[in-house]
């Protein structure tokens, strides 16, 4: 009997050891008491952090007091204009912002405020200025944006110092085109900006461009080919013809404005300069077409101060600009194709004269007959001519979003 009891001792010890190990493993897998509370608090903190980050993706409503503290009572003005004034500010977490305080007639303020919050407030893209939030308090309407340390593009384009090289300007053109393309083609509702110009292209600390100022912007359904508008929009010199003439309005008015911006990037000057000695150079886009049409484009590029290694890119930009500013909107490419053309991944058809509608005998330019246009592409496709003066669009043209209008239109 005693020997049997002795034999059971090892078994008992083994059972005790298994029990101890099991209890320890159970405690690790299923914490109790304070351990359960700690895990619960951690999960709550993580979820709160996640929800807060999600909330920051949408525009925040700031109080007037918060903005006064951030801007040190609006003591550092960055600029002002007809829309209002912009002040630099810093939040308590170190985030630097630009605060635009709107002013003017109450109707205009409300319209601009709703346009900006209703468009840029709902989208995010690397090449679009981010709207952090807004303030509505009393008669105050303010918009809070990310701060752009290098200001607007016009300060660099029209500066005699030429601080930016042509390669960097080309990168800025590509980034700007990508931002507009996103608005037109990738948003749930198409957004038309209506006011693309150098003053509305802002540069961050790395000189990356961001499209800004959506005070004239408008949402439109993709199913609607034409846009209903009340009142004029855009800036003279950049606004498409359909914005100031009784023509149907489409999103391609932004393509026209981008084309005018491209001309200014190429020339490093304002498109209109009435102080020049040569009258033919007063309006730069038309002078570019004259040079292009006469085969003197290389001389024009040299006269603009563009270096030899940038001339090929400059020539591409000239052709793209001439397509973008076509008088008829249906002949302009879509912005996603403009991006590909700028990046060199898409061939560019030979441009037709975009200024034929107002060229007169004072400019000795022979009108380009469509039957004489060399429009062959490296892919082997081409524009076919059925009769002089009429062009038929090929699949490549359709792919590029360019439709050829008949001469009778």
Decide: helix, strand or coil at residue 314: helix
- Which residue in 48, 93, 154, 195 is the catalytic one? 195
User: In the numeric block, which tokens belong to residue 241?
Assistant: 């013809």
Separation of first and last alpha carbons in the chain: 117
Q: How far is it, in rounded angstroms, from Cα 337 to Cα 211? A: 18
Q: Please list the residues that pair with 140 across neighbouring strands.
A: 137
**Interatomic CA distance for residues 212 and 197, integer angstroms:** 10
Secondary structure of residue 170 in the 3-state scheme: helix
The residues, any chain, with a CB within 8 Å of residue 245's CB and separated by 6 or more, are: none
* 204 contacts: CB under 8 Å, gap ≥ 6: 148, 149, 150, 210
Q: Active-site residue 296, yes or no?
A: no
Q: Among 178, 157, 184, 179, which Cα is nearest to 168's?
A: 157
78 contacts 64 by C-beta, under 8 angstroms: no
CA distances from 4 to 1, 8, 9, 11, 16 (A): 5, 7, 9, 12, 19
- Consult the annotation and say whether 100 binds a ligand: yes
Angle between helix axes 311-324 and 284-293 (nearest 10 degrees) is 110
CA distance 38 to 323: 64
Q: What tokens does 109 get? A: 């303020």
| The residue count for the chain | 409
Q: How far apart are CA 252 and CA 258, in angstroms?
A: 10
* CA separation for the pair 148, 238 (Å, rounded): 23
Contact 232, 195 (CB under 8 A): no
CA distance 354 to 367: 11
Both tokens assigned to 202:
């802002």
State the CB neighbour count (10 A cutoff) for residue 289. 26
Binding-site annotation: residue ranges for ATP: 100
Binding-site annotation: residue ranges: 100
| Residues tagged active-site | 195
């Amino acid at each position: 009997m005693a020997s049997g009891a002795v034999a059971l001792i090892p078994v008992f010890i083994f059972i005790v050891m298994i029990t101890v190990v099991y209890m320890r493993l159970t405690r690790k897998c299923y914490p109790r008491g304070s351990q359960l509370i700690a895990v619960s608090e951690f999960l709550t903190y993580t979820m709160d952090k996640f929800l807060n980050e999600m909330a920051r993706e949408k525009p925040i409503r700031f109080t007037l007091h918060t903005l006064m503290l951030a801007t040190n009572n609006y003591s550092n003005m960055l600029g002002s204009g007809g829309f209002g004034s912009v002040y630099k500010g810093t939040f308590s977490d170190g985030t630097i912002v630009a605060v635009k305080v709107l002013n003017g007639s109450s109707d205009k303020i409300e319209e601009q405020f709703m346009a900006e919050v209703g468009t840029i407030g709902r989208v995010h893209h690397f090449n679009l200025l981010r709207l952090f939030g807004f303030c509505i308090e009393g008669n105050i309407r303010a918009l809070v944006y990310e701060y752009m340390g290098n200001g607007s593009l016009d300060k660099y384009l029209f500066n005699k110092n030429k601080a930016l090289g042509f390669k960097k300007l080309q990168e800025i053109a590509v980034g700007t085109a990508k931002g507009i393309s996103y608005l037109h083609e990738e948003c749930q509702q198409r957004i038309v900006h209506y006011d693309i110009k150098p003053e509305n292209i802002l540069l961050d600390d790395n000189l990356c461009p961001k499209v800004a100022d959506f005070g004239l912007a408008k949402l439109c359904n993709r199913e609607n080919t034409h846009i209903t508008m009340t009142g004029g929009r855009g800036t003279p010199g950049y606004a498409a013809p359909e914005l100031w003439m009784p023509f149907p309005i489409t999103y391609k008015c932004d393509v026209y404005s981008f084309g005018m911006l491209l001309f200014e990037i190429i020339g490093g000057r304002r498109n209109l300069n009435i102080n020049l000695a040569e009258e033919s150079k007063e309006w730069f886009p038309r002078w570019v077409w004259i040079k292009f049409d006469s085969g003197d484009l290389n001389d024009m590029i040299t006269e603009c101060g563009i270096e030899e290694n940038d001339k090929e890119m400059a020539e591409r930009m000239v052709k793209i600009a001439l397509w973008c500013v076509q008088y008829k909107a249906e002949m302009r490419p879509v912005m996603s194709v403009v991006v590909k053309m700028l990046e060199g991944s898409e061939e560019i058809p030979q441009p037709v004269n975009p200024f034929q509608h107002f060229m007169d005998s004072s400019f000795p330019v022979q009108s380009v007959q469509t039957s004489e246009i060399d429009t062959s592409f490296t892919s082997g496709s081409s524009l076919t001519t059925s009769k002089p003066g009429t062009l038929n669009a090929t699949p490549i043209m359709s792919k590029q979003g360019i439709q050829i209008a008949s001469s009778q239109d």
